[in-house]
Amino acid sequence: MKITAQLWGNSLGFRIPAPIARDTKLTHGSEVDLQVEAGRIVLTPMRQIKHYELKSLLAKVTATNIPSGDFWGAPVGKEVW
């Protein structure tokens, strides 16, 4: 697909066509890594790393989804419980 560089202030900008944005899951505000490799411009989408907090995870535990605590099952040998 051929696109044309356009002036954006003192820099050049390119518009990413909608089908390519969809295929790469880019949306407004997405960050990309810009590199030059062997004379080529390479854009790589930066994926956000999800950060979890114990408090918010525990808030999702309810009486219907809490584990029973019996993770081991019945004895299968000479285990002493």
Domain that holds residue 21: 6-58
Cα 9 to chain centroid, rounded: 31
Total domains present in the chain = 1
81 assigned to some structural domain: no
Give the three-state DSSP class for 24. coil
CATH number at residue 22: 2.10.260.10
Classify the C-alpha dihedral 16-22-24-30 as positive or negative. positive
Determine the Cα–Cα distance for residues 53 and 24; give it in Å rounded to an integer.
Answer: 28
Whole-model pTM? Answer: 0.52
Ordered per-residue pLDDT tens for the chain, 81 residues:
899 999 999 999 999 999 999 999 899 999 999 999 999 999 999 987 788 899 999 999 998 988 777 667 777 888 776
